[in-house]
Amino acid sequence: MIRKKWLPPLRIIGSAFEMTLRQNVYDSFIIFGVIVQPIIIALLALWMLQDQASSQAIYVIIGSGMTGLWTSLLFISGNSLNQERRRGTLETLVCLPTPLPLIIFGKNLANVIQSMSSMIVSYSLATLFFGLRFEISYPWAFVISLLLTVFSFVSFGLIISPIFLMDPGIQGWQNAMEFPVYILCGFLFPIALLPGWTTPFSYILPPYWAARALHSATTKGASLSEFALCWGMMVLLSALIGFIANKLFQRVLYKVRNDGTLGLQ
Amino acid sequence: MNAIEVEHLRRIYVTTIGVIRRSTKEIVAVDDISFQISQGELFGLLGPNGAGKTTTIKMLTTLLIPTSGTARVLGNDIVRDAKHIRPVIGFIFGGERGLYWRLSAIDNLRYFSSLYHVEPEVSKKRIPYLLELVGLKDRGNEKIEGYSRGMKQRLHIARALLHDPKVLFLDEPTLGLDPVGAREIRQTISDLQAEKKTILLTTHYMFEADALCQRVAVINHGLIVALDSPEGLKKQVKDLSVIELEVFGIPQRVLGQLRSISSVDAVSIENRDQKQLLQIHSPHGSEALSEIMTCLKGLRVGKVAVREPTLEDAYVRLVRDTK
C-alpha cells in the first residue's frame, strides 16, 4: 500500500502527466517530433539495412524509438518552462505550494511515455513493410530496461528545462544538440564505430546506457553483469542528475525572481 | 496581527542597454513604501500605469525579490518564508494569460486544485461551487480558447479561490472588461470581502476603489503619496470644485490658456464621441467660470456643471502634485 505522505506528490505527478498529454494531442509539432520524424529515420535505416540480418534491424527499431524520445525530451520537455512563461502560467506555478520540479517531472513523464509510441510505429513499419521478424531475447530484461529508460530520460529532462529558462540563448543551440546525442548514445549504430575519444562523453549520458540496455535485451548471449552495469549506471546518473537538477531549480528560480524575469512583460 | 505588513519596501530593476558598449540603467519601480493591512480588510492600491502597483503585488506574492525592505504576509517574511505564504494566498493578475487554453475550465480547475493540494473529495464539491460563483456553471466543459476576456478573468478568480486562501491579491481584475462583466467581478469581490478575506486590490478605476475599498493607498512613481479611507481622501480635496464643460474640438492652445488661469488648479480632457468633456479643478468654484468662459470664447460649448469632488478628483490632484 502506498504510504499517505506519498499520495499528494503522486497525485501531482499524475495530474501534470494527464494534463500534459491532453494538451499534446493538439500540438502538431509534438506529433511530428514523436511520430513523423522517427518514421522517416526508421524508413531510411531499414531501407539501408534490408539486406542485413534481422539482428541489425532491431537496432533501427530501438534506435529510431530512442531518437523520438530524445527529440521529445530536448524540444518539448526542454521548452516546457519557457512555454509556461509564454502562456503566463509560470508565475502561477511558482506561486503554488507544490515544488516546481515535481510538476516538471509529471510533464516530462507524459512526454517520454508519449514518445514511446515512436518505437511502436517503427516496429510496425519494419514488420509490415519490410517483413523483418524480431525476437526479444530477454523479455524480462527488456521490460526493466524500458522502465529505467523512462525514468532516466525523465530525470535527464529535469536538468534541461531550468537551463533553458535561465538563459534562452542556450535554447538556440537546441537543433545542434539533437544529432550529436543520437550518435554519441549509439541509437542507430554502436559507439565502437566512433573515435575512442568520444567514449567518455557517451558514458556520462543516461540515454547511452538506456540504448545499450535495450539493445542487449534483444541480443542473444547478453550477460546479467551487462544488464546490471547498464541499469546501475542509469540509476546512478539519474540520481546524480536529480540532485543537480534540484539545486539548479533552486538557483534558477531565485535568479528569475531576483531579475524579475519570471513572467513576460 | 496585521495580515500584511510592508516596511520600507524598495525594488529596482536593472536593465542593460547597447550591444558593444553595454551600460546598465536602474529603474526604481517601488521606492520605500510602508503600509499595513488588517485581517479581513479590503485595501486598494491606486495609481497610474507604471506607478509600481504590480511590482508591489509581485513582491508580496513571493514572485519578485525586493531590493531592500521587508514585508510579511500573515507573519511570514516574503523572501525567507515564501513556502509558508504560498499555500495561504490566492492571486490574479489582470489579462487573459495564465490559463491552459486547450483545456476546459473544469480541467484547469481540477489541475490547479491538485497543485494546491486540495483533496479530491473537496475539489469535487468546490469546483462546481466556484464555477457557479463566477457565473461559468454552464460553460465549464468548454475549452477556454473560446472564452471571452471577461469569462477568462472570472475563471482566474475561481482558480485563485480553489484552496480557500486567507489573503487575496487582485491586480486590476476588471481591466478591459465590458461594464456588465466588470460589475459582476466587483460583486464577486464584494462577496469575498463579506467572507472576511483580506484583499489587496489594485486598480486605476476610482469608482471601483471608492465602492469596494475600506482604505486606499495612492501610489505614483513608486511612492505612496496618500493613504486614507476613500472619504478621507475626498476630504483632502474638499476645498476644490470641479467644473465640467462639454466642448467641441478644443485646441491645445486654449487648454494652455486655461491652465495658466491663477484660480485653476488642474485641467483634464476626456474624449466622448464627437465632443469632449473638459474638467477643471478650482478652489473658487463657479466664481472662476467667467475667466474660463473668456478663454473659451468663440468655441462651441455645451452643458456646464459645477460639482463636488470625487475620489478620482482627489487622485488626479495627488498624482499631479507628485509629478
Q: Do A89 and B103 touch (CB under 8 A)?
A: no
Contacts of A98 in chain B (CB under 8 A): 115-117
The fraction of chain B above a pLDDT of 70, given in percent, is 99
**Residue predicted with more confidence, B319 or A3:** B319
For A95, which of B11, B61, B95 is closest by C-beta distance?
A: B61
Answer for the pair B210, B230: CB distance below 8 angstroms, yes or no.
yes
pLDDT of res. A66 = 85
d(CA A150, CA A234): 10
Q: How confident is the model at residue A265 (pLDDT cuts 50, 70, 90)?
A: low
Min Cα–Cα distance to chain A from B281, Å: 35
Q: Do A12 and B107 touch (CB under 8 A)?
A: no
pLDDT of res. A46 = 74
**CATH fold of B4-229, please?**
Rossmann fold (3.40.50)
Shortest CA distance from B162: residue in chain A:
A96
Q: Do A96 and B115 touch (CB under 8 A)?
A: yes
Contacts of B63 in chain A (CB under 8 A): 91, 94-95, 257, 262-263
Min Cα–Cα distance to chain A from B87, Å: 5
Average pLDDT, chain B: 88
**Secondary structure (H, E, C), chain A:** CCCHHHHHHHHHHHHHHHHHHHHHCCCHHHHHHHHHHHHHHHHHHHHHHCCCCHHHHHHHHHHHHHHHHHHHHHHHHHHHHHHHHHHCCHHHHHCCCCCHHHHHHHHHHHHHHHHCHHHHHHHHHHHHHCCCCCCCCCHHHHHHHHHHHHHHHHHHHHHHHHHHHHCHHHHCCHHHHHHHHHHHCCCCCCHHHCCHHHHHHHHCCHHHHHHHHHHHHCCCCCCHHHHHHHHHHHHHHHHHHHHHHHHHHHHHHHHHHHHCCCCCC
Q: Do B98 and A12 touch (CB under 8 A)?
A: no
Residue A111 carries which side chain, given as an amino acid letter? N
Average pLDDT, chain A: 84
For B91, which of A88, A93, A95 is closest by C-beta distance?
A: A95
At residue B322, does pLDDT exceed 70?
Answer: no
Q: Do B117 and A97 touch (CB under 8 A)?
A: yes
Contacts of A255 in chain B (CB under 8 A): none
pLDDT of res. A264 = 65
Q: Do A19 and B63 touch (CB under 8 A)?
A: no
Segments of chain B assigned to CATH 3.40.50.300: 4-229
| Phi, psi for residue B112 in degrees, rounded to 5 | -65, -30
pLDDT of res. B131 = 93
| Phi, psi for residue B164 in degrees, rounded to 5 | 50, 60
Q: How confident is the model at residue A233 (pLDDT cuts 50, 70, 90)?
A: very high
Interface of B with A (CB under 8 A): 11, 13, 55, 58, 61-65, 83, 86-87, 89, 91, 93, 95, 97-103, 107, 110-112, 114-117, 120, 159
Of the residues B56, B62, B63, the best mutation for testing chain A's interface (the one with the most A CB atoms within 10 Å of its CB) is B63
Shortest CA distance from B29: residue in chain A:
A260
Segments of chain B assigned to CATH 3.30.70.260: 241-321
pLDDT of res. A1 = 44
Lowest mean pLDDT among A70-84, B80-94, B114-128, B149-163: A70-84
Min Cα–Cα distance to chain B from A186, Å: 37
pLDDT of res. A6 = 64
At residue B299, does pLDDT exceed 80?
Answer: yes
Q: How confident is the model at residue A3 (pLDDT cuts 50, 70, 90)?
A: low
pTM of the complete model: 0.82
Q: Report angle CA B100, A157, A149 to the nearest 5 degrees.
A: 120
At residue A122, does pLDDT exceed 80?
Answer: no
The residues with which B4 forms a beta bridge, in sequence order, are B37, B73
Contacts of B112 in chain A (CB under 8 A): 92, 96
Rounded mean pLDDT, B212-224: 92
- Residue B81: exposed, middle, or buried by beta-carbon count in 10 A (0-12, 13-18, 19+)? middle
Rounded mean pLDDT, A118-140: 79
Rounded mean pLDDT, B170-193: 85
Q: Do B98 and A91 touch (CB under 8 A)?
A: yes
Lowest mean pLDDT among A31-45, A68-82, A237-251, B2-16: A31-45
pLDDT of res. B323 = 57
Min Cα–Cα distance to chain B from A214, Å: 35
This complex has an ipTM of 0.84
pLDDT of res. A174 = 79
For A103, which of B61, B115, B120 is closest by C-beta distance?
A: B115
Q: How confident is the model at residue B32 (pLDDT cuts 50, 70, 90)?
A: very high
For B64, which of A11, A93, A257 is closest by C-beta distance?
A: A257
pLDDT of res. A53 = 57
pLDDT of res. B139 = 92
CATH 2.40.110.10 matches B241-321: no
At residue A55, does pLDDT exceed 70?
Answer: no
Q: Do A98 and B97 touch (CB under 8 A)?
A: no
Lowest mean pLDDT among A47-56, A62-71, B279-288: A47-56
Q: Do A258 and B65 touch (CB under 8 A)?
A: yes
Min Cα–Cα distance to chain B from A98, Å: 6
pLDDT of res. A131 = 75
**Residue predicted with more confidence, A121 or B108:** B108
Rounded mean pLDDT, A242-251: 92
